[in-house]
Amino acid sequence: QFRAKRQEVYRSLRDTPAVSKDGKPVSLLMNAGLLMDLPNVMNSGAAGIGLFRTELQFMVSSRFPRTGEQEQLYREVLDSVEGRPVTFRTLDVGGDKVLPYLRSEQEENPALGWRAVRLALDRPGLLRAQLRALLKAAADRELRVMVPMVTETREVLQVREIIKREVSLLTRFGHRIPRSLALGAMIEVPSLLYQLDDLMKAVDFVSVGSNDLFQFVFASDRGNARIARRYDHLNRAFLRVLRKIVVAAEAHQTPLTLCGEMAGRPLSALALLGLGFRSISMTGAAIGPVKAMLLETDIGKLEGTLLAEICKSYGGQTIREFLMDFADSNGIPY
Ligand code: PEP
Ligand code: MG
């Protein structure tokens, strides 16, 4: 009953602009990966798709999806969002994302292994086919492509070269190409924290994959239930990491998003607003609750006190209580 009532409230917020109490617009985007997610983009009132996980099509298939099948899916995605931006992530397989038909050797540490962009650059045929499918599907439209598990800036530059080659091939054969093309990197591997300036210069946008970034910064397996509650995403050390990324992105005016699970939990999303994030991407069901939080949040008031809070000593300690107090005393639902 209570739940149904809340759902009703969230539905009524669908067309309410996503603006904070003190007038700051925030882009609330949705994560998606399959056709069945698409109606939800429009129903949830999301501003677009901040993370399209292209590997899901590969994971539900019993063989490699053909280039034409990939192209068709990407076109349907673009058609369904009525002109809103979609960020396609190139194939992120390996680690916790297994393709039964992709033969690979047993790895002792698959999360740290031959995966994502590493696999893509070693098997450029697969990557080229996917990029071609994306370029064709986005003909005359905006194409946004993002690369997972980047560890060295060089890896995105290599992907950019491959894209350039595919673009010139398609043009030569008379195909129409996208009107604009933006290439981004996911920040998921801690090595990037020490090359943020190089990275920001090399890409058109960045997106924090906080699930993996947290896993690697805290050496804490994201799929291991035994340790899942041991370290809080809202601890000072991790929030300092996120703040460092915000500062670098602002300095270079590189558009920044965060697309891990924490974006979809209102209290964590509140922390992200205070850190300076103005674009976050989450599951469709979270858009309503996060927007309800946003509408009641005075970001200006939060910012100063949150930044002071994360600079206090006890780096490992969580600021969850501080955030709950802030929310409670300001009438912010979470
Ligand atoms: C992440 O790592 O935070 C992320 C968004 O990507 P995925 O969960 O698909 O690894
Ligand atoms: Mg990830």
pLDDT digits (tens, 9 = 90+) for 130-166: 999 999 999 999 999 999 999 999 999 999 999 999 9
- pLDDT at site 1: 67
Virtual torsion, Cα 217, 221, 223, 227, nearest 10 deg:
-100
- Which contiguous run of DSSP H or E holds residue 88? strand 86-89
- pLDDT at site 21: 98
Q: Whose CA is nearest to atom 6 of ligand 1?
A: 209
CB 287 within 8 A of CB 44: yes
67-88: average pLDDT: 97
| Residue 103 predicted with pLDDT over 90 | no
Three-state DSSP class for residue 92: coil
For 261-289, what is each residue's pLDDT tens digit? Answer: 999 999 999 999 999 999 999 999 999 99
For 236-255, what is each residue's pLDDT tens digit? Answer: 999 999 999 999 999 999 99
Q: Which of 327, 328, 306, 320 is nearest to 235 (CA)?
A: 320
- Which contiguous run of DSSP H or E holds residue 292? helix 287-295
Q: Is the CB of 115 under 6 A from ligand 1?
A: no
| Residue 316 predicted with pLDDT over 80 | no
- pLDDT at site 98: 83
Q: Is the CB of 211 under 6 A from ligand 1?
A: yes
**31 CA distance to ligand 1 centroid (A)?**
10
Please report which ligand is nearest the Cα atom of 214. 1
Q: Which of 168, 171, 202, 172 is nearest to 187 (CA)?
A: 202
- pLDDT at site 95: 75
Which atom of ligand 1 lies at the shortest distance from residue 260's CA? 3
| Residue 313 predicted with pLDDT over 90 | no
**What distance in Å separates the CA atoms of residue 186 and residue 59, rounded to the nearest whole number?**
21
% of the chain beyond a pLDDT of 90:
89
| Residue 197 predicted with pLDDT over 90 | yes
- pLDDT at site 221: 94
Q: Is the CB of 279 under 6 A from ligand 1?
A: no
**What distance in Å separates the CA atoms of residue 333 and residue 285, rounded to the nearest whole number?**
16
Alpha helix (H) residue ranges in 123-209:
124-137, 153-172, 196-202
**What distance in Å separates the CA atoms of residue 60 and residue 41, rounded to the nearest whole number?**
21
- pLDDT at site 102: 83
321-325: average pLDDT: 97
- pLDDT at site 11: 86
Q: Is the CB of 209 under 6 A from ligand 1?
A: yes
| Residue 104 predicted with pLDDT over 80 | no
- pLDDT at site 241: 98
| Residue 303 predicted with pLDDT over 70 | yes
End-to-end CA distance of the chain: give it in Å, rounded: 19
Q: Name the residue of 88, 146, 211, 214 to mutate for ligand 1: max ligand atoms within 8 A of Cβ.
A: 211
**6 CA distance to ligand 2 centroid (A)?**
31
**213 CA distance to ligand 1 centroid (A)?**
9
Confidence (pTM): 0.96
Q: Which residues share a beta bridge with 206?
A: 185, 256
Q: Name the residue of 54, 90, 212 to mutate for ligand 1: max ligand atoms within 8 A of Cβ.
A: 212
Q: Whose CA is nearest to atom 9 of ligand 1?
A: 53
Q: Is the CB of 259 under 6 A from ligand 1?
A: yes
Q: Is the CB of 145 under 6 A from ligand 1?
A: no
Least confident of 104-108, 294-298, 312-316: 312-316
Contacts of 128 (CB under 8 A, 6+ apart): 162, 165, 166
Radius of gyration for the chain, computed over Cα atoms and rounded to the nearest angstrom? 20
What residue type is assigned to position 314 of the chain? Y
